[in-house]
A and B are shown apart, each in its own frame.
Chain A
């Protein structure tokens, strides 16, 4: 019902006849802002990012300021999140680890996005044998659980931040390839692309002007969700001691060392875990909010609801 109707009796195209339904159509940004969960998660992410950037200046203690005399102190005014088994301030380590975590997530997802979209768009648009081969490769990658594939890559290279980024990047590439391919396939058969082909438009131009802009919605959604999963994967790798290497702080690494003190120092395991949880949750909720707005089927649904 959001489609405009032809002016039935007098088909005059006065400049001001924009159908009323359309005038009421909301911009994507306003739609996003109308969902409180999305706004809250965006704000939380903004705080996390700011903290991560400002971590070196905000952190009250050095990340590796060992103070054995004050080991395993519960949360207090001087140590908000308590101290660990070496007397290091958990709060300082948590916010510095945010920086590492976000850095790994952003770099690896950017890698996955670029490579995956290239593979997916080419595969979906060109089709034929190339598509079959590329998609079988993607299927093969999907046969491995994410963490297993990441572990195998770490096993080949030396563990460390660069390896972690590369491993997570490779692991999430097939997902982007599939999303990009599926969207490309549906856009490819749209009449506006067909018309453009009949004009003799070069393929690269079609991809640039029609396909990429029109598949950006699902890709933005997938990016947000993948950032969430990338943070989880990095944490898992670091927890296993195969991601970020100590003494550099990482949420997963902190949880690993907290394991031995579960009964004595709950704060060592709770705060880094909450940090992961909140950040991942925020990315997931943001991704959900974006999907509602950028998926046109969902979009009409929200619009019809908000007008009630």
Chain B
């Protein structure tokens, strides 16, 4: 079979910087090419440049990218005229982008957004286009498609919006579908559904797919061939099974080793005889939400109870909106609960928490870019809790303590002088951890603390956290959406769904024998270890 898209020696430069450095690949009908890389690898830019949709100011694209749709002559897309590209976009090539919340026009009905390309490319009448739109909404599995035609994007959930994006992309039966991190912003169960949907539609229509992702697990589920990118350079380009079974390039090996996998490692089993450090009972949190159309009450946490024993980790896992972060905010005093109790070694955490109590609970947030004040040097940030609590009390200089803390998180003491923008994401997160440890807390709450890091960095930070826990006998509340990471880190696991406890058990039991349907669904949605092609 001849390839639908054939790319030779593609290069993209902005100014003197070459962002994509000579890539070649091809995709055949009904096949999927997965492009993998960490942030800054140039994977999105590669595909946008190859398909002529790149609009970065000042970008220069060279090389060749030939589109050969069935029943039409080949067309060179690099350097093609805008009018030629417009005829191809939406007709021969469909696109699905990462963030479904912002990818749809908020002011147009779904019908209008789907029929647009049909009218542009197929000159269908309004009525014919509308009935085609209905077919498409049925095909992507949107419930009540007839009513949904007249809906607006804000009336749909994230997963539904991504289904609509897919309907738009497939409206004209394109030969090629470009999916740029289409499931990254979605919950794991929704991700699994979208992967299945794209596979089914692809098989029905013989569409070639280029699927971009940072997640090797997802790529394993969708791809036939994989191209691994690092800083705009191709490292490895092979069949998915060969690549995953026998990675040749050390970077590929590292990516494979670093990706969180279920059952990869678990902490020692929880012991029931340890002293209970944190005890939470019937926690209840409500928010009142004001929107343009009035006020409503959101029950963010609804009757959640748990204990955390000293020196152990409780993992709290759930999808977005499950209320897991709200628990962290309540324990650290950022949010006032509606009811319930929480005690740290017998002392009330929720009401009239003393200044001293704030010393004993520390928190590390998700986003390494915004958890450090951009105007403070790393050393000042680490010293901030010391300043607030007038420590060290023995009159030692604070700098000494800061250097100690930096050493603890494996950073050189000289980093105290750097500003956050002079640090990488992983380094920033280490500084955040050092700051959290400055007051020698008993309990550290980690709210998605590694979620925005690249996998290789994430693995190192997780190692650091485990080491710190055993060295300093810390107690963790580890909040994450990624079950594999929670399994690696936790002794006990609390699964949350819509503010309530779905399941609460020792990690070993929960993963071996989940009792609740919801937990089983979550586990089933995780992309399996082996690529789908290897399984059959």
A1 at the interface (CB under 8 A from B): yes
Residue ID in chain A nearest B427 by CB atoms: A13
A199 close to B (CB within 8 Å): yes
Q: Is A9 a contact partner of B358 (Cβ separation < 8 A)?
A: no
A1-37: CB near B (< 8 Å → 1, else 0) gives 1011111110101110011001001000000000000
B216 to chain A, nearest CB (A): 14
Q: Which of B359, B363, B432 has the most CB of A within 10 A?
A: B363
Give which listed residue, B38, B385, B422, contacts A199 with CB less than 8 A: B385
| 8 A Cβ contacts from A186-216 to B | 190-192, 194-202, 205, 209-210, 213-214
Are the C-beta atoms of B254 and A9 separated by less than 8 Å? yes
Specify the chain B residue showing the minimal Cβ separation from A213: B375
**Residue with the greatest number of chain A CB neighbours at <10 A, chosen from B17, B366, B453:** B17
B421 near A1 (CB under 8 angstroms)?
Answer: no
Partner of A201, one of B250, B388, B425: B388
Q: Is B410 an interface residue (CB 8 A)?
A: yes
Contact with B along A89-102 (1 / 0, CB 8 A): 00000000000000
Given A195-B371, A205-B388, A308-B58, A11 contacting B332 (CB threshold 8 A)? no
Contact assessment for B250 and A13 in the assembled complex, using a CB-CB cutoff below 8 Å: no
Within 8 Å CB of A18, what residues of B? 418, 422
Determine whether the beta carbon of A198 is less than 8 Å from that of B370: no
Partner of B432 from the list A195, A214, A307 (CB cut-off 8 Å) is A195
Q: Tell me the smallest distance from the CB of B102 to a CB of chain A, in Å.
A: 16
| Stretch touching chain A among B120-128, B147-155, B265-273, B454-462 | B454-462
Instruction: Check A200–B389 contact: CB distance below 8 A.
Output: yes
Q: Is A76 an interface residue, CB under 8 A from the partner?
A: no
B residues less than 8 Å from A7 (CB atoms): 424
CA of A178 to CA of B506, assembled, Å: 51
Query: Which of A190, A202, A305: most chain B Cβ within 10 A?
Result: A190
State in angstroms the CA–CA spacing of A76 and B187 once bound together: 78
1/0 per residue, CB under 8 A from A, across B41-76: the answer is 000000000000000011000000000000000000
Q: Which residues of chain B from 383 to 417 have any CB-CB distance to chain A below 8 Å in the complex? A: 384-385, 388-389, 410-412, 414-415
Residues 376-387 of B, flagged 1 when their CB comes within 8 A of A and 0 if not, give: 100001001100
User: Distance in Å from the Cβ of A265 to the closest Cβ of chain B?
Assistant: 51
A78 at the interface (CB under 8 A from B): no
Which of chain A's residues have a CB closer than 8 A to the CB of B58?
304-305, 308
Chain A residues closer than 8 Å to B250, beta-carbon distance: 9
B374 at interface by CB-CB < 8 Å: yes
Across-interface contacts of B418 in A (CB, < 8 A): 18
Does B423 reach chain A (CB closer than 8 Å)? yes
How does the 8 Å CB contact mask read for B418-443 relative to A, with 1 for contact and 0 for none?
Answer: 10011111110000100110010000
Residues of B within 8 A of A304 (CB): 14, 57-58
Contact B40 A5 (CB under 8 A): yes
On whether the beta carbons of B460 and A11 are closer than 8 Å, the reply is yes
Q: Does B105 interact with chain A (Cβ within 8 Å)?
A: no
A73–B308 Cα gap in the complex (Å)? Answer: 91
Query: In the complex the two chains form, what is the Cα distance from A195 to B367 in whole Å?
Result: 12
- Contact in complex: A200, B424 (CB < 8 Å): no
Write out the residue numbers on chain B whose beta carbons fall within 8 Å of the beta carbon of A5: 38-40, 424-425
The answer on a CB contact under 8 Å between A191 and B40 is: no
Determine whether the beta carbon of A13 is less than 8 Å from that of B388: no
Residue of A nearest to B414 (CB): A15
Whether the Cβ atoms of A199 and B421 lie closer than 8 Å is no
In the bound assembly, the distance between CA atoms of A191 and B371 in angstroms comes to 5
Chain B residues positioned under 8 Å from A307 (CB to CB): 14-17
Shortest Cβ gap from A138 to chain B (Å): 19
Query: In the complex, what distance in Å separates the CA atom of A287 from the CA atom of B29?
Result: 55
Tell me, yes or no, whether B372 is within 8 Å of chain A by CB: yes
B251 at the A/B interface (Cβ < 8 Å)? yes
Let me know if A192 and B372 touch, CB within 8 A. Answer: yes
Q: Please determine whether A8 and B230 come into contact, CB atoms closer than 8 angstroms.
A: yes
B361 at interface by CB-CB < 8 Å = yes
Which B residues lie within 8 Å of A1 (CB)?
19, 40
Closest residue of chain B to A307 (Cβ to Cβ) is B15
In contact, B334 and A15 (Cβ under 8 angstroms): no
Contacts of B435 in A (CB 8 A): 195
- B411/A13 in contact, CB under 8 A: yes
A304 to B359, CA, bound (A): 43
Contact of B365 among A25, A191, A205 (CB under 8 A): A191
User: Is B424 in contact with A19, judged by CB distance below 8 angstroms?
Assistant: yes
The residue on B at minimum CB distance from A193 is B373
Knowing A196-B384, A308-B14 are in contact, say whether A13-B39 is a contact too (CB < 8 A). Answer: no
Of B14, B373, B410, B411, which contacts A192 at CB under 8 A?
B373
Interface membership of B25, Cβ < 8 A: no
Of B359, B410, B418, B424, the most chain A CB neighbours within 10 A belong to B424
Query: Besides the contacts A8-B230, A191-B365, what 6 more A-B pairs have beta carbons closer than 8 Å?
Result: A4-B422, A6-B38, A11-B456, A209-B384, A214-B375, A305-B58
Which residues in A have some Cβ–Cβ distance to B below 8 Å? 1, 3-9, 11, 13-15, 18-19, 22, 25, 190-192, 194-202, 205, 209-210, 213-214, 304-305, 307-308
* Nearest 5 CB-CB pairings of A with B: A200-B358, A198-B332, A191-B371, A191-B365, A192-B373
30 sampled A-B residue pairs with Cβ under 8 A = A1-B19, A5-B39, A6-B424, A6-B426, A7-B424, A9-B251, A11-B456, A13-B412, A190-B370, A191-B370, A192-B370, A192-B371, A192-B372, A195-B432, A196-B384, A197-B332, A197-B333, A198-B362, A198-B363, A199-B359, A199-B389, A200-B359, A200-B389, A201-B384, A209-B376, A210-B373, A213-B373, A213-B375, A304-B57, A305-B57
